[in-house]
Amino acid sequence: MDDDGGDDDAAARAAIAIKPEEVTTLRGHTSEVFICAWSPAGDVLASGSGDATARMWTVPAGPSGRDAAKPAREPLGDANDWNNKSKDVTTLDWNGDGSLLATGSYDGLARVWDANGNLVNSLCAHRGPIFSLKWNKKGDYLLSGSVDKTAIVWDAKTGEAKQQFAFHTAPTLDVDWRNNVSFATSSMDNMIYVCKLGETKPIKAFKGHKDEVNAIKWDPTGTLLASCSDDYSAKVWSLKQDRCVHDFTEHAKEIYTIKWSPTGPGTNNPDLPLTLATASYDATIKLWDVEEGKCMHTLRAHSDPVYSVAFSPDGKYVASGSFDKRLHVWDAKRGTLVRTHDGGGGIFEVCWNKDGSKLAACYSDNTVSVLDFRA
């Protein structure tokens, strides 16, 4: 199904537009903001930037807008002491209870901060920029992937490298935990490996992509692994077989990122079907029925590459951010555009807070926006 999202209808667009006065703009970064993530503990938003800092912002629970308070804590890390360009903050992740924030940087260091912004640990073992960083659910291990072609599992308490996994022959682009002790890695070498702490060899190797694998994500139950690539395809894999379960090839350009819906058996939203979203340089987002193996909706309203996509916590809505400076929110079931906002720069990432009442977007114009979401 193809949907134009009412893009040719200016009146309809105006009716669903989020007004500028309904948006809180967070200013403080001095370079583009690559990444943002809400704390699972409450209304604290973390952002990471090309200015060599991460920041924690306290966002009040009330309505967003020009009058909303927006205090920023001091930046995490002192940009004045760093060679800025070599220290871009490329990735960040909160642990499960929001007590610790991990950041990964172009300087090859991972850093762990407490909720007050104090440095707890610097993790030094990679020999190249870190592009991905994830806490396991339990919060005792941190997983990082680097340009040095390896992935490392770190002991969160001591900050020591527990095990280094050196299976790829090119930079590691993404990592994702399957459970508390096993995970997957993807690389510019076109390969995906599933690894387990304590094992010296991969427990599974998935081969099938013809170009670099940009992102990988386990579904909510850790049963299926989705991957997306510069070969224009997204694939779904199972540990039970070597060949991919599904091969989605309908995008016309590279697929930058993918997200699973927080729905289906074993989730908080068991009555809704499990859906995979793919975001591409072809300016579209596609929503896939994974059980049937077919495209349910092609979401068309962006005019530039889509760098980010995120499901709301209840799985009913999908937010997308593009370099056309627009943030769109879609009805996942119908594939229709329900809210839209024009920002001041290209969007690198969009994310929802825990209860789905607020959306954050980070931009190439050095700002972060927080918007209230009401369907």
Ordered by start, the domain boundaries in the chain are 17-79+87-372
DSSP 201: S
In the prediction, which pLDDT does 78 show?
A: 44
CB distance 315 to 333 below 8 Å: no
More confident residue, 43 or 255: 255
In the prediction, which pLDDT does 79 show?
A: 39
CB distance 135 to 96 below 8 Å: yes
Q: Which two tokens stand for residue 296?
A: 């349910």
Where does residue 15 rank: exposed (0-12), middle (13-18), buried (19+ CB within 10 A)? exposed
Provide the H-helix boundaries in the chain. Answer: 10-16
Start-to-end Cα distance in the chain: 22
pTM comes to 0.93
DSSP three-state, residue 224: strand
Mean pLDDT, rounded, for 273-302: 97
CB atoms within 10 A of CB 293: 12
Give CA angle at 321 (316, 322), nearest 5°.
145
Task: Say yes or no to pLDDT of 236 above 90.
Answer: yes
SS3 sequence of 92-147: EEECCCCCEEEEEECCCCEEEEECCCCEEEEECCCCCCEEEEEECCCCCEEEEEEC
Q: Which two tokens stand for residue 268?
A: 């908080």
Per-residue pLDDT reduced to its tens digit, 70-116: 555 667 754 344 345 568 999 999 999 999 999 999 999 999 999 99
Per-residue pLDDT reduced to its tens digit, 41-79: 988 999 999 999 999 999 887 788 765 545 556 677 543
Dihedral of alpha carbons 23, 14, 366, 113, sign: positive
How far CA 312 is from CA of 86, 298, 317, 350, 366, in Å, comes to 34, 18, 5, 11, 25
Which residue in the block uniquely carries the two structure tokens 């009442």?
357
CB distance 37 to 343 below 8 Å: no
Task: Say yes or no to pLDDT of 6 above 70.
Answer: no
For the domain made up of 17-79+87-372, give the CATH fold: Methylamine Dehydrogenase; Chain H (2.130.10)
